[in-house]
Amino acid sequence: MSKYKTKIGLEMHCEISETKTKVFSSAANSYSSIPNSNIRPVDMAFPGILPVVNKEAVRMALMTSMVLNCSQPEYMYFERKNYYYPDLPKGFQLTQETKPIPVGIYGKVVFECNGEEKTVRVNNLHLEEDAASSDHLYDITTIDYNRAGVPLLELVTEPDLHSADEAVAFLEHMRSVYQYLNISEADSKKGQIRCDVNVSIMDSDLDEEDPNNWGTKIEIKNVNSFGGVRDAINYEIKRQTKLKENGTYDDMEQQTRRWDEESGTTIAMRSKVDAVDYKYFVEPNIPKFKISKEWLNEIRKNIPELAYDRKKKYMNEYGLSEYDSNILVKEKDISDYFEKSISIGTDVKQAANWVNGMILSYLNYNEISIKDFFMTPEMLKELIDLIESKTISSKQGKDVFYKCLEDKKDPKQVVKDEGMMQITDENQIMDIVKEVINENLEQARTFDPQNPKALDYFIGQVMKKTRGKANPSIASKLMRAELEKIVSE
Amino acid sequence: MRYMNKSIEELHELLVKGEVTSKELIDESLKLSHKLQDECNAFVTILDEAKETKVTDNLLSGIPFGCKDNYSTKGILSTGSSNTLKDYVPFFDATAYEKLKNAGAVMVNKTVMDEFGMGGTGTTGHTGTVKNPWDKTRMCAGSSSGSACAVAAGVYPYATGSDTGDSIRKPAAYCGIVGYKPTYGLISRYGLFPFASSLDHLGVLTRNVKDAAIVVDNMKGIDKNDMTSWDSSNIHLKDSLTGDVKGKKLCYIKEICDINNYKNPSNELKEHLENFMNTIQKAKELGIEVVEESVDQTLLNASPAVYVVISCAEATSNMSNLTGIIFGPRGEGDNYIDMMKDHRTKGFSPLIKRRFVIGSYVLQSQNQERYFRNAQRVRRLLVDKWKELFKKYDAVILPVGSGPAKKLDGSKDILTKETQVLEEHLQIGNYGGFPSITIPNGFIDNLPVGVNITGNCYDDENILNIAYALESTMPYKNQIAGIVGGEMDE
């Protein structure tokens, strides 16, 4: 066992991407590559603008608060966090501090890490606005205000995590929650998830419950990928351990550091004495508004099924394995595709096999999302039905799958166009069987029913004549009967 | 023939009858604007290009008006009388201005104010001091100085204003006109350059109460861009002016109005308070019951400090958008911090900078409890006290200021602690968002003085009706300072 225990707390920012408009402005909340195209006067703080709260964003925030088992406030307030920066047009950010109560406080989240159940306490969840984004070029900085005012949820945990693995597993769990709640794509590649990470270490023989035994809190700002979180934590553990070993740990001040992705190190930004005083106060332009019990009940009633619920359903009701269920629920869009397939009557096991097998490997190989996948759940059902009805063989099924995607056609069309329809009509097959026997009369008369290879030869001839379309089992049944008739004559 | 000294209804009738055209009114108003500008420096911009509008059923159609320069007016310079916005031309309209425009009203000038509304003298605007049209050695008070000056001088029947502490109602008193600030949220604040958001109100300056009602009827309404605005479709201010006030109840506050409460009062103060009591007598003659009430002096004394703390705190935050990065003159410097500093150092007057320092100080985490939060608590106590009075009375009636307009050179007006509450009690109307109106009630040394009526939230109709009735008992309705008078058609 290690000499030191690590304590990690996270501040996870997730942009709400699924509202129509920004959190305090009527500008569209959608990503645009054209800078400064999704903006209204509010987003650039022209004199005289006022914030107007987006109720939908509040609803989503309250729903998240419920899922995190937080308590919700009776009244909704927003506060100003005052500081000067070019990406902050008003000179303050509208956010929520802990007094008055933000959208959620004191919750807890249970998640899975390497097959083990873990619990992390949530200190608070608050709704705020994002800042503009700046690009630092060689000699100038450009500012794009498209992001200014995008709704942002900040989740602050207690320092209950103990390793980089746990931290990343928690973040992955939360990403899934945001996706399943239809709140955010939660895509860190789009900058929708950003984290600040608090790391401290303590002697492992001391009692963790007593905060006096905790180490000095180091905050690492702006870690923007899960990989970055893992690397930053591991780096920081190593760095702090080294300080312990050489006896300088106790000289270390509480401080804020920055994660530098290129060098893979954390760099000191400021110590606690230089901490900014944000001069918080309640935003006077937003009247406090009461959150009614009725509204809360309605929100609670409409919480969508989360990954965990779906997994349980797949295992208990559908009889799928835990392994398959885990794969199906990992990405909400995949799970939605599967759910849709089931809802239109596709065989559960077949649907699971296709989604987890052919479809996922196709998506991964071609690096596309299931939202851009040509084959709809309806088409998948068609394909599975074609196989089930023995219209095509399962081997042919795979060819049809690729052909569908290649030619952008539905499975029935492919089967028709490619002439892949199996011959299942017994009379038609019987004609061919007779034809083959007539052409091979000598062999037919010496047919040995005990020798399987003898039958194979005749079937092969049937297949040759039908170019493989004769249903093999019907052909085999008829041929055997016919040959046995000849031999016994 | 002069027209701009007339009331809105009179002008409307003349327009409808075709006895005068909108263009003729605008021409006269512009001519007077230029004359007054030379005399009193009331305008930031005079809109010589102002176009006549079609005369419709709307009483405001075709009639000129002035607009305080902290209203965002699309395509028209809007400076807030500050160097930080000296070239700022907005691309959107303030809701209230847009409503007036839609009513067919014609804006002919933008009026000078104390920089961003911070100040009560009319001396801090970036284009210089506004002089009182009754006596050019005196101030108009502020911050709606230019608006008050121009309405008093008869440039047009009304001008818009804004009021954070008394910025409509005190200039109105000093200029001998009517100043009305309705209930908080009756008029949308969208597009008004903010000073202190929880105290800021829009309103109007006119020469009679009915005109104030007509204008605010056209400015008000719920606005999707202002969450603090509310639906007032059932409120009809002009229609509520019946003049019937029998059985109404008013109170005045002993601690403010009793001359015995002041040691060594000046003659001016004596006259002012006597004049106030004469007005009370007139109210009684109308059948209004007027009662003297007492309010804890300590609570009253705390009011001015409450105002400084809350207004400065909100102001310092509200004006953090003035960095010269997105709009306003870009400051010089090697980095954004130096650029912002340069812009703000050059842009703001010393008075504003002082207020920013105070605002910052009271919001600092180690000071916030002692100053900002305590100020909010005392604000609540004052509002509760006034609401308690409104349970018994329709309104509180009080004198405005300690007398007439003060000298610009400051020789006569040493602000004493003694008269501070008398000077500043109108702030309480902003603390509670109460509807509040000042009307002229006499002269001292040939200079006008005013009286204020403040009532409970949403009771605007009642308050205006009381003011309307009281106005009719005195000969000061529609009075004009003669500075740019004389026959215009000569």
* Count of Cβ atoms closer than 10 Å to residue A443 Cβ: 15
Nearest-by-Cβ selection for A50 from B90, B190, B316: B190
Does B1 have pLDDT greater than 90? no
In sequence order, the 6+-apart residues with CB closer than 8 A to the CB of A263 are none
Contact B313 A85 (CB under 8 A): no
- The answer to whether residue B63 sits within a structural domain is yes
pLDDT digits (tens, 9 = 90+) for B29-66: 999 999 999 999 999 999 999 999 999 999 999 999 99
Domain hosting residue B114, numbered range = 8-245+436-484
Domain count, chain B: 1
Closest CA to A404 of A421, A391, A416, A422: A416
DSSP annotation of A130: P
Residues A63 and A201 placed together within one structural domain of the fold: yes
Cα distance from A53 to chain B (closest Cα, Å)?
A: 8
Of B78, B228, B326, Cβ closest to residue A287: B228
- The answer to whether the CB atoms of B321 and A90 lie below 8 A apart is yes
pLDDT of res. A294: 97
Verify whether the Cβ–Cβ distance A279 to B363 is below 8 Å: yes
Inside any domain, residue B460: yes
Q: In this structure, are residues B361 and B345 in contact, taking their beta carbons and an 8 Å threshold?
A: no
Q: What are φ and ψ of residue A8, in 5° steps?
A: -125, 135
Q: How does pLDDT run across B256-267, given as a tens digit for each residue?
A: 999 999 998 999
Residue among A103, A62, A100, A64 at smallest CA distance from A79: A100
Determine the pLDDT at residue A1. 55
To the nearest whole angstrom, how far is the Cα of A204 from the nearest Cα of chain B? 36
Residue A395 and residue A258 share a domain:
no
Instruction: Compare CB distances from B90 to A46, A51, A141 and report the shortest one's residue.
Output: A46
Same domain (yes/no): A274, A348: no
CA distance B328 to B131: 28
Percent over 90 (pLDDT), chain B: 94
Domain match, A137 and A262 both? yes
Distance (Å, rounded) from C-alpha A302 to C-alpha A297? 9
CA distance B172 to chain A (A): 24
B217-243 mean pLDDT: 98
- The last residue of one of the domains, among A391, A417, A443, is A417
Please give the structure tokens belonging to residue A390.
């023995």
Chain-chain contact of B80 with A85 (C-beta, under 8 angstroms): no
Chain B residues touching A276 at Cβ < 8 A: none
Res B490: pLDDT: 35
Residue B78: inside a domain, yes or no?
Answer: yes
CATH at residue B184: 3.90.1300.10
The answer to whether residues A471 and A454 belong to one domain is yes
A341 and A271 co-located in one domain = no
| pLDDT tens digits, one per residue of A282-313 | 999 999 999 999 999 999 999 999 999 999 99
For residue A105, give the 3-state DSSP assignment.
strand
CA distances from residue B351 to B117, B302, B445 in whole angstroms, order as listed: 11, 22, 31
> Are A400 and A275 contained in the same domain?
no
Residue B124 has pLDDT above 80, yes or no: yes
Do residues A388 and A447 share a domain? no
Contact between chains at A92 and B193 (C-beta distance less than 8 A): no
A352 and A374 housed in the same domain: yes
Active-site annotation holder among B7, B82, B143, B349: B143
pLDDT in tens, A301-348: 999 999 999 999 999 999 999 999 999 999 899 999 999 999 999 999
Sign of torsion over alpha carbons B99, B461, B405, B194: negative
In a 3-state reduction of DSSP, which class is residue A93? strand
Answer for the pair B55, B22: CB distance below 8 angstroms, yes or no: yes
pLDDT digits (tens, 9 = 90+) for B398-419: 999 999 999 998 755 455 788 9
What is the C-alpha separation between B193 and B170, in angstroms, rounded? 20
pLDDT digit string (tens) for B439-490? 999 999 999 999 999 999 999 999 999 999 999 999 999 999 987 865 443 3
Does residue B337 lie in a domain region? no
- Closest by CA position to A198, among listed A226, A157, A169: A157
State how far Cα A153 lies from the chain centre: 17
Last residue of a domain, one of A239, A262, A296: A296
pTM of the entire predicted model: 0.90
Is A7 strand, coil or helix? strand
Instruction: Decide if B240 is catalytic.
Output: no
Mind listing the pLDDT tens digit of every residue in chain A (489 residues)? 588 999 999 999 999 999 999 999 999 999 888 999 999 999 999 999 999 999 999 999 999 999 999 999 999 999 999 999 989 999 999 999 877 899 999 999 999 999 899 999 999 999 999 999 988 888 888 999 999 999 999 999 999 999 999 999 999 999 999 999 999 999 888 889 999 999 999 998 898 888 888 999 999 998 999 999 999 999 999 999 999 999 899 888 889 999 998 899 999 988 877 778 999 999 999 999 999 999 999 999 999 999 999 999 999 999 999 999 999 999 899 999 999 999 999 999 999 999 999 999 999 999 998 999 999 999 999 999 988 887 888 888 898 999 999 999 999 888 888 877 778 888 888 999 999 988 888 888 888 888 878 888 888 888 888 877 888 888 888 988 888 888 877
* A280/A314 same-domain check: no
Domain count, chain A: 3
A and B: number of Cβ contacts within 8 A:
99
* Mean pLDDT (whole number) for B243-257: 97
For residue B371, pLDDT beyond 50 = yes
**Number of alpha carbons in the 13 Å side-chain half-sphere of residue B214:** 25
B37 inside domain: yes
Contacts of A287 in chain B (CB under 8 A): 227-228
CA distance A324 to A351: 11
Rounded Cα distance between B484 and B206, Å, is 17
pLDDT (0 to 100) of residue A445: 85
Contacts B98 to A, Cβ<8 Å:
none
E strand or H helix that includes residue A194: strand A193-203
Cβ <8 Å between B228 and A82: no
> What residues in A contact B84, CB-CB < 8 Å?
none
Packed helices B8-17 and B22-40: angle between N→C axes, nearest 10 degrees: 140
Nearest to B321 among A91, A280, A286 (CB): A91
| Residue B13 belongs to some domain of the structure | yes
**Host H or E run for residue A135:** strand A133-136
The closest CB to that of A48, out of B191, B227, B336, belongs to B191
A352 and A226 assigned to the same domain: no
8 A C-beta contact, residue A447 and residue A401: no
- Whether residue A91 and residue B224 make contact (CB cut-off 8 A), yes or no, is no
Check if A282 contacts B (Cβ < 8 Å).
Answer: no
Per-residue pLDDT band for B155 (boundaries 50, 70, 90) equals: very high
Alpha-carbon distance A146 to B377, whole Å?
39
Q: Looking at the structure, do residues A392 and A432 belong to the same domain, yes or no? A: no
Query: In chain A, whose CA is at the least distance from the CA of B73?
Result: A48
Output b/e per residue, A296-325; b: 16+ Cβ within 10 A: beebeeeeeebbbebbebbeeebebeeebb
Identify the domain containing residue A314 by its residue range. 304-417
Quick check: is B167 catalytic? yes
Q: Is residue B229 annotated as part of the catalytic site, yes or no?
A: no
Output Rg (C-alpha) for chain B, integer angstroms: 21
